[in-house]
Amino acid sequence: GSVSLDDLPVWTPTAGRSEPIRYQRNEKLDLKISVFSGDITKLEIDAIVNAANKTLLGGGGVDGAIHRAAGPLLKKECASLHGCETGEAKITCGYGLPAKYVIHTVGPIAQGGVGETERNALRSCYRNSLQAAADNAARSVAFPCISTGIYGYPPEQAVHEALAAVREFLDVHHDKLDRVIFCVFLPTDKELYLQNLPLYFPAA
């Protein structure tokens, strides 16, 4: 079955962590973050983000899973979009998915290493995906760990770009979104997110 917003507990920071805080608390962001371990295609929310490739015509990993679950009409709509540049985002309907929309974004390929270009592109993926959601009145959005699979971005670096980009977008646009869900497919990614979330969304 599918997983609705009511089944997704809100993330709250655990007290007593020793890391220095990078961002001050913004109380308007309390209750807006969830971490979901599992298959993003099961989420019955407004929008799920797809870690697509530039063609938008489907691929492996989460992209393949989303296209399989959505059915052939998704590919048909994607084919009308003329691809997508790295760091950009394009929105489609969700078709057979429980989610209303799919936001397709293209992460940087990091096989040659991670520099400023890759970091900026990854942040743009998160920022532009959130902007696409807000522009379409999608108030709940789930992200996979963009670029950290086939595209080779080290997950322990990607988590910081993901969290910083979401934090900075929500600081400005908190009224546009109710919930941002980090969909962690691998147990190691769940650990990374739970470890690092308090740096970006501190309790006090």
Q: Binding ligand ADP by CB under 6 A: which of 182, 185, 193, 201?
A: 185
Q: State whether residue 132 is helix, strand or coil.
A: helix
User: Taking CB under 6 A as the criterion, which residues in 20-79 touch ligand ADP?
Assistant: 39-41, 51, 61-63, 65
Shortest distance, position 161 Cβ to ligand ADP, whole Å: 13
Query: Cα separations (Å) of 100 from 11, 97, 160, 189?
Result: 23, 7, 28, 26
Strand ranges, E, within 19-137? 33-37, 43-44, 47-52, 89-93, 101-106
> If binding is defined by CB under 6 A, does position 149 make contact with ligand ADP?
yes
In 10 A of CB 63, how many CB atoms? 20
Q: Which is nearer to ligand ADP, 29 or 182 (CB)?
A: 182
> If binding is defined by CB under 6 A, does position 168 make contact with ligand ADP?
no
Token digits of residue 137: 């009145």
> If binding is defined by CB under 6 A, does position 202 make contact with ligand ADP?
no
Shortest distance, position 89 Cβ to ligand ADP, whole Å: 13
CA distance 122 to 117: 9
User: Taking CB under 6 A as the criterion, which residues in 79-118 touch ligand ADP?
Assistant: 107
Q: Which residues sit at the interface with ligand ADP, rule CB under 6 A?
A: 39-41, 51, 61-63, 65, 107, 144-151, 183, 185-186, 189
